[in-house]
Structures are given as structure tokens and as C-alpha cells.
Structure 1
Amino acid sequence: MSPTPEATTLKIVYAGTPEFAVPALQALLASRHQVTAVYCQPDRPAGRGRKLAFGPVKQTAVEAGIPVEQPLSLKSVTEQDKLRAYAPDVMVVAAYGLILPQAVLDIPRYGCLNIHGSLLPRWRGAAPIQRAIQTGDAETGVTIMQMAAGLDTGDMLYKTVCPITPQDGGQSIHDKLATMGAEALLHTLGLLCANQLQPQPQDDAQANYAHKLNKAEAAIDWTQPATVIDRTIRAFDAWPTAYTLYQGQPLRLFSSCALPGDGQPGTVLAESKDGIDIAAGEGVVRILSLQLPGGKRLGAGQFLNGRSLLGVRF
């Protein structure tokens, strides 16, 4: 179902919580469309004082004077009626974090659109950006999807591609896709207003599930190939952050590259301002930035000032 061509301004309810969802909200606020309400997850404790803090999307909405709703769930009839009262033409969802029941998907005139950080159906689920890097994908991107009851199974409306370079990590790809998602959303809404959407069903046989990240998988196993370790370090640079134990404490690893070479896995073979070279099961991992407990994230050259790891075996 598409709007009539003259319906060039859409009433939009926006649902998102973290930083990834901010650029798209900002783009909507600057567009001809009307954001009538913003939905976010409830405020969470943050910082050392564990005080309740606004999430990035809520902060953006409050500054723009947009009503904010933060239900624990959208399953109750009361919450669904509240959403219905906003009379949305479209609900846009980006990293919201709550499941939308079918009753909610049916409320907006043209349904719910999701900004998904992968080229569907390649990666469905919670951590598509990190899993794409970790697996060694050459590219990722953003898919604007018509939401359905399944997990990221709806028809694809628009895609935009982003290469993954050997220097990219989870944070850099996150930032690129957040910006690309905003542009892709406005383009898709333009197609919607012009009756030019061409929904494409997903091929379920091509789908992979991007499992939620956990801290346990951030521990580096130096018997793995250098390419695998390098991709893990880069994928996890924002969270949960890869680490190895040094003097009984976690040494956090943020950026790296894989090189040819050999040695006893986990052994520091060389060090310089260019990096700290650690033997892997196959090849060598060069660590470019790292952090000791309680310290700052440092480049390899700064880290080595007055300190040597040469010969250490992790």
C-alpha cells in the first residue's frame, strides 16, 4: 500500500535508543516530514554514580521538543492505544531494542520501516556490523526494510553498500552506516510518497543470524590464525573489546593488522612505534593500539614509552 502522490508530508513516529539511531532522527527533523513522537527504551543507570541518564535518541528528541514515550513493552493494549493516538503514517525503527508485536506493526498507515545495519538477508539479528567484520565480509551496508513479525525477515525496500576496509573496526563501520541509514531512510520515504516503492522479498536461504555480542568471546585465543584474531579485534573495538591477559590483568586491544610470519602463538616477536607483533597460530598480529587496566587507550609507540613487551608470551 502506498500513499497518493500529493501526500508529500508523512506523520512519523520514530523508535530508537542508541547513537546509531540519532542521524536518521536528525534527518527526519530537518526534512519536510513531521515527527510526532519518539519512542526509546527506559532510561538506564550510567557513569560511576549510576544515575539514570537519557539515551542519545531521547536527548535529541527532548532538545527538539518532541514528545518521548518510554514503555517497558508495547504488548499492552494501553500502550498500543497510546501509539495509535499519534496517528502515524509510518513508524521508523532503528536499533530500538524492543520487539514490536503484530498489533503495533499494523497501526501505522503504511506500516513500520526498519533501518538495518547490514545488506539483508546476509546478517539478521542483534550484531550485524560486528559479525560482518569478524567473518571477513568485503562489504556491508544498510537495508531499509518493511517490518514483519519475524526477526529481520520483512521485504527489502532500499539498500546502500559500504565497503569494509582492512582498517575498519566496529565503531568506524557503525558511524558510516548510521549516516548512510539516514540518507537511505529519506530516499525510501521519497519513494513511498511517489508511489515508487518496489518491495523485494528476502531469500531466507542466504540469511545468517548475527548473535548478540558477549564478553566471553572477547578473550583472544592466540592459536587462531592471525586473520581471524585481527578481524575479532577490529570488530569488537567499541564493545566488548578484545583482550589478552598480561600479568594477570586484561590488556585491551583496539586496532590491529595481520602480517606474515611465525612463532610460538602468543609470543611478542617484535615491537616498535609501528606496532607490537604477536605470533598467532598462523601468521602474526600487529597491535596498533591498546590499553592497560585503569589507563588510557594508547598507540603502540606511546604504550612502549618506558615499557617493553618483547619476549612476553600471552
Structure 2
Amino acid sequence: MDRELLAHFPVVLTVARRGGFAAAAASLNMSPSAVSHAVKVVEERLGQPLFARTTRSVSLTEAGAAFVAAVGPALATVEESIERVRSARGQVAGLLRINVPRLALPLAITSAIIEMGRLYPDLTIEVTSDEGLIDIVAAGYDAGVRLGEMIAQDMVAVRLTQPFRAIMVASPAYIEERGLPHSIADLSRHNCIGYRLISSAAAYDWDLQEKGQNVSVEVSGTVRVTDSLYARDLALEGVGIAYLFEPLVREDLRTGRLRQVLPTACIEEPGLFLYFPRYASQMPKLRAFIEVLRNSSK
């Protein structure tokens, strides 16, 4: 086996997973030129291109897709074996990669990362902020964070937060100018800050309840976002009514910066969970992270 060639395989896989050289370079803490060189070395040794490159995109060739399908699982097996050796030694070190929606960072993740840095200086935690639904195993993550209802049944899930409500809020300035809606039907006459789903590109219908029944409500307005924290910012500026998880705006409600709209129409969500494949539960780095998360949530 060509040792130089083998060393470049993880770089090729990261380019494939990240969909580009710049994204792979950032993920690997390498320069884009070093990533490009590694891919070029592999392509030259194999005698065929693995990626089709244009000025706007990078995609796998047929040979590249076959390479990733063959090499990816093999490297994953090697990494898993290394983790098992570390598990036997109880070593908390290396790289822990997690995929997290941005709203979960202030609710459950940031304080744990601070504590992990204090306790385990040999561990690097790489956090990808991602609102879409992805296959964390295929994308090379050790764990992810999502709402309980969004987690596949074959994953192990650890609760991070208690259930919370999804509510509608608006600023006093907006309410003074436009008034309060008195029913779900009234939302059609208000400026609602909408969401675009990254995974499907569809506009998100708000999940509400009416007369004890769950309903999906199509809303409209002058702005649509993919980030709930930005929806909060817009609501604070008086742009319109925002649909948010209550913990994100608890302080705003307490101080009066925002007011709840149609409280009887809100629904309860199951809360946020850390999830991961069963084999990953043996990793010391993940076990340590779970322990810190549990302690920080007490």
C-alpha cells in the first residue's frame, strides 16, 4: 500500500462529504491548496478524476462515487477500531464532530463546550451549525442534535432539554401599529416572519392547535428566513410576528421586549436530544460529552 496515497484518502472523502474544496479545507484545518494537492495526488495515482470541477460547483465523477463507496466504509472501520483502543484506555482526546441547529447552541450546547474545554484540553469539538436534516453517519459526524420527533429510530437519543412550547411573539411596537390577531385566521392579515426549510427548500407551515386539534397554517409576510435566531431579531425590530421556541425568547417576554400572540394556539415540542449511532456510545470523547451535558442541564 502506498502510504502517501493512503494518507490522502480522508481528504478526498471530506471533499465529497462537504461538497467542495474550501469547505473541506475549513473542516480539516488545512489550506485549500493543500486539499487540492491531496486530491490531485490521489487522482494521478488512480489515473482518473474523482471530481468534476466548475467555477461554481464540485461533484463526484462516476469513478469518484465508486471510490467513496468503497473507501468510506473501510476508513470508518479503521476509525472505529482506533476509538475502541482509546475506549480501553479511557482516553478523551482527538476530534468530536457534532451537527447542531443554531437554536440549540444557547439552549444546550455552549455551556457544555466551555466545560469540556476545561476538563479535556486534548479534545477538539467541531460544531457544524446546520438547520437541515442530514445523515450524520454518512456525513462523518459523531453525533447530532435535533428535536426528538426528527430522530431516526435506529439512533441512540439522550435528552438535552425538557419539552418546550413553540409560540408566536411580536414586539410592542408591531402590536401597537397592527394590533393583535384574535384567531388563527387573523394571521393571514398580519406580517408573519416565515421559514424556508433547508432540507426540502419548502416554505414551513406553522404547527398550531385549534380547538384541541393540531393544524398546519400557511403564513405570509415580507420576509422568510432559515434561522430562528434571526427571526427573533426581526421580531424585536418590529418587523412582524415570529414563530419561535419559548426558551429562546423567555427573557424577552419577561422584560416586555416581546409579547406572546395567540397563546392558546401554541403547541408543545418534545425537546432537544443528542443522538448518535449505537457503536459511538463506546467512544470516551462522546461519553464524556454526554456526562457534561447531563450535568449542565441539572
TM-score, normalized by the shorter chain, greater than 0.5? no
Q: Could you say which structure has the higher strand fraction?
A: 1
Q: Could you say which structure has the higher helix fraction?
A: 2
TM-score using structure 2 length? 0.30
Work out which structure has the larger RCO, using CA pairs closer than 8 Å and 6 or more positions apart in sequence. Answer: 2
TM-score using structure 1 length? 0.29
